[in-house]
Chains A and B, each alone.
Chain A
Amino acid sequence: MTSPKYQPGGVQPGGFQRWQGIVIGGVLLAVGLGICVVTFGVGTLPGQDSLGPRLFPVLIGGGLMILGLANAWAGWVTLRDGSAHEGALIPVSDAENVTEPGDWPTLLWVVAGLCLGALGYKTIGFIPSAWVVFVLTARGFAAHWSVKHALVGLIVVLIAFFGFTKGLGLPLPTGIFASILASISGGH
């Protein structure tokens, strides 16, 4: 994505930026190689369709290896020339030649919220875990705790839960509130 707020180009890429192309190329190469290796563990048995299940994985794995090499090469050219000029394969970057450091705390709050949400989904149930996701996301973006956000989150989660289970009749994990919810819905 492009955002007008970033000033493109002209800056000496530093740190990881310098090695980016080579690292990404290496990862793609490794994945491609991995696909090819694993493919030969995929069973082929006599009498299956003549082409078998291995051809396409090998083609795709091979493609990834070639692309990995190309990425690494483009990265190396960038490194050698020491500028944002990325050689013929990759034109000069058109966006976010990022100079300012990213906002790690906010990202970590959001990701932590999702991790806790996934951990708790079946164990403590949808309502508390989705609420945790909401509250931690809001905490990350707002950079402070807020009772208002927590309340809005609770309302959103409750509407989602009851809309889902009552409106559509689809099961959601009730978790620790199982008995309470059962007593609410017991009267239907």
Chain B
Amino acid sequence: MTNLTRRQALKTGAALAALATAGGLLMPGAALAALDALTVVAPAKPGGGWDQTARSMQEVFQTTGIVKAVQVENVAGAGGTVGLAQFANRKGDASAVLVGGLVMLGAILTNKSPVSFKDVTPLARLTGEYEVIVVPAASELKSMGDLAAKLKADAGSVSWGGGSAGGTDHILAGLIAKAAGADVTKLNYVAFSGGGEALAAIVGGHVTCGVSGLGEFEAQIKAGELRALAISSGERLPGLDAPTLKESGLDVELANWRAVFGAGELADADKAALLDAVDQMVKSDAWKQTLATKGWMDTYLAGDAFAAYLSEEEARVTTVLKEIGLVS
């Protein structure tokens, strides 16, 4: 931000006006069949990935005029299953959509949630983030191979720091242990509630290794505080000096995807309208810009293709969680 002062000089005059009209700007000519109002339910507290996804959708829907008035509602709790349960009550209601993702899938299974993705209508996968496995810079583990060998020798001796139990990070730790031929039931996974707490425990060397979304660790990897052992993507990622898990001899690929769902028992016309709105949003420049600033990957997959992907993921995650011992 070298030109801060100049930018500020330019902006100060317009700032108040911008504040007043923000969100109310309509792009002329956009959206033939604009929806009037939409509630985007974020099943998490403000600040997390789902909340930010919901608020980005709100922003893009409104600035492009795809939907006239958008409201974000936070219904936090239990890996999103509280929000899901509440949303499942809106059968046939086309005026709201729910943000969710892989973490919710894990939570449905571990919490024995009475509602599942069967009670809502999958609309589209929107974004994804790959997971990275890291160790503190001072760690004796130099490569994913070292970690895999240690795991195989004694799975309990490797403590993993990551997010909530049964979430994406835990699932990946289980998949890796399994692929390394280690005793998955001995997986020593230590769940941390916030990203910051896990990161502090990893950098401080209190756990053997850490696993989480690349965004959580990126700054520390760049600063040399953490060493990235592997990334959970299919191909290497630009700007990250780490091999994929497959290159390291572990046949695992996992993305923490985020998606949007409609209410259950939607009428076909309503479903089509929502799919259309999401499609317009994803193809807009504003959305692409949002993805770029947030560092999210575009993993857009809509309609039936997404529904098929969802059931594949469901099967894979169920197997892993059973093996870890979180689901009976």
Contacts and interface: CB of A to CB of B under 8 A. Distances in A.
A47 B325 CA distance: 5
Nearest to A48: B325
B175 to A, nearest CB: 14
Contact of B184 (A45, A47, A49): A47
Contacts of A48: 325-326
A164 to B, nearest CB: 13
22 contacts: A43-B328, A45-B325, A45-B326, A45-B327, A45-B328, A46-B185, A46-B325, A47-B184, A47-B185, A47-B186, A47-B187, A47-B323, A47-B324, A47-B325, A47-B326, A48-B325, A48-B326, A49-B188, A49-B189, A49-B190, A171-B71, A171-B73
A132 to B, nearest CB: 25
A113 B324 CA distance: 50
A36 B219 CA distance: 46
B328 to A, nearest CB: 6
A176 B285 CA distance: 40
Interface string A23-63: 00000000000000000000101111100000000000000
A45 to B, nearest CB: 4
Contacts of B185: 46-47
Interface of A: 43, 45-49, 171
A171 B328 CA distance: 40
A46 B189 CA distance: 13
B154 to A, nearest CB: 14
Interface in B133-176: none
A54 to B, nearest CB: 15
Interface string B311-328: 000000000000111111
A51 to B, nearest CB: 12
Interface in B272-289: none
A49 B165 CA distance: 11
A15 B190 CA distance: 53
Contacts of A171: 71, 73
B90 to A, nearest CB: 14
A171 B184 CA distance: 45
Nearest to A186: B69
A3 to B, nearest CB: 40
A43 B73 CA distance: 32
Most chain B beta-carbon contacts within 10 A, residue among A46, A47, A171: A47
Given A47-B186, A47-B323, A171-B71, 19 more contacts: A43-B328, A45-B325, A45-B326, A45-B327, A45-B328, A46-B185, A46-B325, A47-B184, A47-B185, A47-B187, A47-B324, A47-B325, A47-B326, A48-B325, A48-B326, A49-B188, A49-B189, A49-B190, A171-B73
B101 to A, nearest CB: 23
